[in-house]
Amino acid sequence: MSPELMSAQQIAKELSETPPSSAISLQMSVDNYLDVIRGVVDLFANKKEMDTIYVTATISSDAIRRVLEALDIDASRVYFVDCISHIMMGASAAQQDEHTTLVESPTMLENLMLKVEYLIRRSQSKDKLVVIDSINSLAIHNNNWILSEFLHILVSGLRSRDAYTVILTVEEHSTPDINNMVSLVCDHGIRAGKQEG
């Protein structure tokens, strides 16, 4: 019998036990994506009154916004760096407001870092959270060399700014190479999916 999926409360509790400037690898299943969102954005970041910079490379910011709305999660502190709408030719549909910044393509990893940096500087909240959703989606568009380099520079930069980084990994789509790459830059790992540690 496979282990139970971690609940949103458990995910938030584990995140709360990590100090600011931590980089956390959050391995999830496609089946508990909604719990992960609730745990990370609502029960962790919103509860701590911190701004969330949500880097989305899997589904559009519009779609995540709708998910947040459906889950009745306050999105007023969530700022999206959307790497997927433009490449899907859905940029015109995506809202381009102060809560959403578009990156032309998930291959433009430097631009992704620059947008995160811009939002970090603009943020007024004391603590900040950066969510990468997900490393597997970024791996579709980038080779492991450039992705490792990107993670290393991004996480180091965020650590120096005392921001939390949460890197989402979808266990059904992951590979040992990707898992190693993430664990190399992270201080903590949370297994919220089905696979045993």
Partner 1 sequence: MAQRTSDRCATGLEGLDTILYGGIPRSNTVLLTGSCGTGKTSLALEFLIHGAIKGENSLFVSVTENSEKLLQNIIPYQFFDRGLIKSGRLVFVDLPIMYERLGMTKPELSMEEIDLLVAAISNLAKELGTKRLVVDSITSVCYKLKTSEKIREFILKLSKALSDLGCTSILVGEVAADSTSYSSFGVEEAIADGIILMANMERRGDLLRTLQVIKMRGTMHSRAKYVLDLTPVGVLLVPLLKGGSTG
**Residue of 127, 132, 140 whose CA lies nearest to 173:** 140
CB 185 within 8 A of CB 138: no
**What's the min distance (Å) between Cβ of 144 and partner 1?**
8
Q: Which residues, at least 6 apart from 100, have a Cβ–Cβ distance to it below 8 Å?
A: 61, 79, 80, 82, 94
Residue range at the interface with partner 1 (CB under 8 A); choices 9-17, 74-82, 99-107, 169-177: 99-107
Residue 107 binds partner 1, judged by CB under 8 A: yes
Angle at 162 between CA 157 and CA 165, to 5 degrees: 70
Near partner 1 by CB under 8 A: residue from 47, 66, 122, 126: 122
**In angstroms, how far is the first alpha carbon of the chain from the final one?**
15
Q: Which residues contact 160 (CB under 8 A, 6 or more apart)?
A: 21
User: Rounded to the nearest whole angstrom, what is the least distance from the CB of residue 143 to partner 1 in the complex?
Assistant: 7
Among 21, 48, 91, 118, binds partner 1 (CB under 8 A): 118
Does position 138 bind partner 1 by CB under 8 A? no
Query: Scanning residues 15 to 54, which ones bind partner 1 (CB under 8 A)?
Result: none
Residue 148: phi and psi, rounded to 5, are: -60, -45
Spell out the residues 6+ positions from residue 1 whose beta carbon is closer than 8 angstroms to its own: none
Among 89, 145, 196, 197, binds partner 1 (CB under 8 A): 145
Among 37, 109, 135, 185, binds partner 1 (CB under 8 A): 109
Q: Is 114 in the site for partner 1 (CB under 8 A)?
A: yes
CB of 115 to partner 1, least distance (A): 7
Nearest distance from C-beta of residue 102 to partner 1, angstroms:
13
If binding is defined by CB under 8 A, does position 110 make contact with partner 1?
A: yes
